[in-house]
Amino acid sequence: MIPSSSFLRSVFWTRLRQNRLALAGGTLVLIMFVLATIASLVGDPGDIDVTRKLMPPSWAHPLGTDQLGRDVLVRMLYGARISLLVGFVAVGIATFIGVVLGAVAGYYGGWADSVVMRFVDIMLCFPSFFLILAVIAFLDPSIWNIMIVIGLTSWMGVARLVRAEFLSLRERDYVLAAQALGASDIRLIFRHILPNALTPVLVSATLGIAGAILTESALSFLGIGVQPPTPSWGNMLIDGKQTLGIAWWLSVFPGLAILFTVLGYNLLGEGIRDALDPRLKE
C-alpha cells in the first residue's frame, strides 16, 4: 500500500522537529527574515551624521556607527534584505535552469543526455567564483547582474541531481502505465515524474542560498558586488577593514551576520535532507 501524501508530510515534519540542529538552523533563518522585514521601520541606512562617527556600541547605537556616522544596526538590517534577495533570486534562476536541463537529459536520454551532460562537464571545469569574476568584469556591478550571474553559473549540481532522479523514475510502473494510456511527454515530465524528483532539489536549493549569500558577500568585499551607498554585508566588511584597529564593530558584526545566516541555511538544509531520506528509520 502506497502511503498517502498527508502521512508522508506528517513523517517529514516529525523527523524535522526531532532534529535539534535543523530547528536551530530554521530559527536562525526565521530571525533573519524578521530582521529584514522590519528594516524599514528602524531607520534610514543613508542617514549621515559626522558628529557621531565611529561611535562604539551603546544604547543609542547598539552596534555602533561607521566612518560617516551611519548606524551600523540599521545598515545591517538593510544588508539582510540584500543578502536574502540575492540568495533566493540566484537560487531560483539556478534551480529553474537545472530542473529543465536535468529533466530533458534524464527523460529523453540518448543524444539529449549526452549534449546536456557534456555542457555540464564543461561548466564544471571552470571554478565558479573565478567564472563569476570574469563575467562581472564585463558587466555593470549592480545587484541584479550579481543575482543573474550567480544563478547562471550555479545550476550544474541541480541538473545532475534531477537527471539522476529522472533516470530512475522514468522506469517506474506508474510512469509506464501513464505512457500506455497515451500521456504526452510534457504531462509525464511535469505531472508524474518531476514532483517525485524534487526532494534532492529542495535540499540543494536550501544549501544553495547559503552559497549565494557567501558569493555575493565575497564579490561585495572585493568591490565588484553591490555598490555603495546600498548596504550589504560584504561592502560593510570592506569598510570595516580600513578601521579594524580602532573600530572592531564595523567588521565583527557583519561577519557574524554572514556566519549565522550561512550556518542557519546549512543546518536547515541538512535537516531537510535527513527528514526526507527514506532510508532513515522513524
Using one digit for the tens of pLDDT, what is the confidence trace for 208-254? 999 899 988 888 888 888 887 888 888 888 888 888 788 888 989 99
Distance separating alpha carbons of residues 272 and 221, to the nearest angstrom:
31
- C-alpha cell recorded at residue 67: 566612518
- C-alpha cell recorded at residue 107: 527523460
Per-residue pLDDT band for 41 (boundaries 50, 70, 90) equals confident
Per-residue pLDDT band for 95 (boundaries 50, 70, 90) equals very high
3-state secondary structure of 65: strand
Spatial CA neighbour of 249 closest among 39, 43, 75: 75
Distance separating alpha carbons of residues 168 and 58, to the nearest angstrom:
59
70 has a pLDDT exceeding 50: yes
281 has a pLDDT exceeding 50: no
Contact 192, 251 (CB under 8 A): no
Distance separating alpha carbons of residues 280 and 257, to the nearest angstrom:
33
pLDDT score recorded for residue 282: 44
Distance separating alpha carbons of residues 44 and 74, to the nearest angstrom:
7
- Left, alpha or beta for 126 (phi > 0: left; psi -120 to 50: alpha)? beta
Residue with cell 548606524: 71
The alpha carbon torsion through 112, 114, 115, 116 (nearest 10 deg) reads 80
**Range list of H helices, 43-155:** 72-108, 110-125, 128-136, 143-152
Spatial CA neighbour of 54 closest among 221, 191, 244: 244
- For 71, phi and psi rounded to 5 degrees? -70, 125
Q: Which tops the pLDDT comparison, 281 or 123? A: 123
- C-alpha cell recorded at residue 53: 562617527
Global pTM?
0.86
- Domains annotated for the chain, with CATH where assigned, are 34-40+61-276 (1.10.3720.10)
Contact 64, 72 (CB under 8 A): yes
Using only the alpha carbons of the chain, give its radius of gyration.
22
Q: Which whole number is the average pLDDT over 31-59?
A: 86
Q: Tell me the pLDDT tens digit for each residue of 134-162.
A: 777 777 777 888 888 889 888 999 999 99
